[in-house]
Structure 1
Amino acid sequence: MYMLTGSQDALSNECVKQEPCDSPRMETKNGPQLPEGQKPYKCALCSKDFAFASHLIRHQIIHMTEKPYKCPVCSKHFARSSSLQTHQKMHTTEKPYQCSECMKTFSLFSNFKQHQMIHTGEKPYTCTECSMVFSSSSNLSRHKKKHTGETPFQCSVCNKEFARASHLKRHQTIHTGEKRFKCAVCHKAFPRSESLYTHQKIHLPKPTNGDNNQREKAFKCSVCTKAFVHRSKLKQHEGIHTREKPYKCSVCKKAFAVLLNLKIHQRIHTGEKPYKCSLCSKEFTHSGSLYTHQKLHTAENPYKCSACNLDFTHLSRLKMHERIHTGEKPHTCPVCHKAFASSSSLYVHERIHAGEKPFRCSVCSKAFKYASSLRGHKIIHTGDKPFECSGCGKVFAHSSYLYVHQRIHTGEKPYKCSHCGKAFNQVGHLRQHHRIHTGEKPYKCSVCCKAFASSSYLCVHKKIHTGERPYKCSLCGKAFNQLSTLRQHHRIHTGEKPFKCSVCNKAFAHSSTLHDHQRTHS
């Protein structure tokens, strides 16, 4: 074997012979052709192997700090002149290669050749480990890293490792705050090209044919004919039909169809939140949450619902919202066949069947199905209630609790039962009410097998078996198994009567008492 040696500042072309090779060779333009699979040239910096010395020399430029080739338009630097020439085509928009099938144009011949394989279905590159086939050698090389676990690119700031240099570059923008992708219309800058592409849709003229997506959707699902712009999105979608989940969490053994979803899930166990808001320093587990959060500061809501004129920060949020009007529920539970409007709702629902509770309180070790439930629970320990009702002065731990509470004062009941017309101020109460008509009781006690229509009823019932009464009155010491019962009890000491009759203004301590009283007027 041969190893090219050299420092990171200046790479040497000297070959050090490691071991002899007696196999027969043929001459090629790169040098002698070696038997298949033999790679005698090793990089001294990252130990990667190559079949030809020229390929090793080209690879070692990755490790060089010097980038002598500068773009005269945007001042970006490159290690190779060929990389600069490829980059410059972004500025000239020159695309001389046109596909005869779909008329799409390309700036590089290699990209054109790779695109043609979409139409021909040709996949000449096969993985020797799992026999998966690919249309390009780069995709195969990228895929092989899944088997080897190779992550040669390390961030110099936080030491996080990546399988691809492009992923490292994208990650580094978190630390540098660099936003090199600028909108040509409004000059707003973004750290990623995908974010710029999403933003540019704001400036696109509204299509007359009702199609919101201006880009070619060349990748079509063979099962349901749904089409996608990117092959990766198609592969991700196909997992819905195959139910294949090859990526498994080493901590809780939960499986995922997409590697990225596994990586995001693992942050539940590690507590890692690598994406930080530059304005308020709030941290997030993935970039999408940070991107959505940042729009709270800019108040940018470019997507409007045509039915109710509600504005949204993301097109995906708008599409999900529109299902409220259409009633569409495309995601079905394979266990109980319950349908959901979003894949995230189905994902959360499946925890009922699995019994999974991945969110654990660090104070009392109580586990929860949802992160939001854990956040709500933690307030029991901290007692923090920053949201105050302007109507009655009542304080709440979450803004959502305050928002729902205010409907008591306004009388707003936006959720109506389709069976009997009864209206509710919370969607959860409507769902629970629906089960009166359907008779559904999905929550079963593991001790006595008694079934309940809601998880809260089951939770209260379980305390009969355990004898647990965690909610104690601070004034008289009496303990209760429900927080709501403690709140009702507190009103004996405070004299608070928050429920007022709209006819005679008589006030009551409990909503049920008000409800009974209102019958005297009818």
Structure 2
Amino acid sequence: MLENEESEEEEKHHQVKTGAKTRSQTESISLLKRRDKKCFTCRQCGKSFTHKQSLDVHMRIHTGEKPFTCEQCGQDFKRQGHLKIHMRIHTGEKPFTCEQCGKSFAHKGSFKRHINIHTGEKLHECDQCGRMFSRATGLKSHMSVHSQEKPHSCSVCGKSFSRLQSLKVHQKIHPGVRNHMCFECEKTFIRAADLKRHQRIHTGEKPYKCSHCDKRFSRSEHLKRHERIHTGEKPFTCDQCGKSFTQQGNFKSHMIIHTGEKLHECDQCGKTFLRASDLKSHMTVHSQEKPHSCSLCGKSFSRLQSLKQHQKIHTGVRNHVCFECEKTFITAADLKLHQRIHTGEKPYKCSHCDKRFNRSGTLKRHERIHTGEKPYHCTACGKSFTRISSLLSHTKNSHCK
């Protein structure tokens, strides 16, 4: 009897152990199946995730939550990784470099897109129409042409889209987020259309042709301004001297000549300027720190923007265009200097007479007439000159060599 009881107890114990093991195995298999099935589902758009943390991050798309903030400019981000990438704008870091042309990029995606310029490969084919694309994202975007279903609607304006990504891009128009970036110069835009228009600077595309001559323009408004040269229209007139201008910007620059006011004062040295932009440029004189260095020549700059402008000298990109004559310049400062030819602006006045000049160097040469200064001397005969060009002409044509 005792033996039977012991046998029964052993059998029950074995069943419990076996049952526990079976339940443990079943739970593990069930957990794996749940993970395979992506059991964490967004209730708003139906997208599923294998981990709850991924769902939590995804939900920020719907809630608009952006918990990661840039301490330098205050811009907010949904993910810490996005903030890390954004910080490269402030640091100037560009870790991805093209081996073929040496151009560097802050983003890996931008670098990959750039590489396609050199290879020219189009490996992604649409299985419905056969069209080829150099990037997978291009093919993915194209596929929405074939799909008629548009399940994703904008809650602000009601516009519908076939892809969630298209809706996300569209929704950025409403709050004014500048999420379309030019991969050539990293300038950002609110709309893809604005980016496309901007990129004509880099591609050289000029779809707008003048009806009076063969000149072409990248923007319709540039064409309109240009055609005033042919029509003679000058809608902006100075009420003080009667001078008229084809462009409003040139008119505003001209008006400063009459006021002569230098309202922008440097708080460190007291120097005053006509324009805020001139003061801003001047302030770099007082800054000793120059953390931004050119990787090609080693020259350092206090501002990242100054470094970017400097680097264009090496690339030879002349994307600063004069809308009056279409002449191009590497830097905005060179363009600004040139535009005084069209505006008639002469901000530099002689302290001895009433003559004015559009460049400081020209004023300096003129004032030598009053001061009698002749800094350039002929080493052969000792004769002095106010201009170096006069000295060169003298040494070339005289016999005192």
TM-score bucket of the superposed structures, by smaller chain:
0.3 to 0.5
Q: Give the TM-score of the pair, scaled to structure 2.
A: 0.35
Which one has the largest radius of gyration? 2
Question: Looking at both structures, which has the greater relative contact order when contacts are Cα pairs under 8 Å and sequence separation is at least 6?
Answer: 2
Q: By percentage of residues, which structure has more helix? A: 2
Q: Give the TM-score of the pair, scaled to structure 1.
A: 0.28
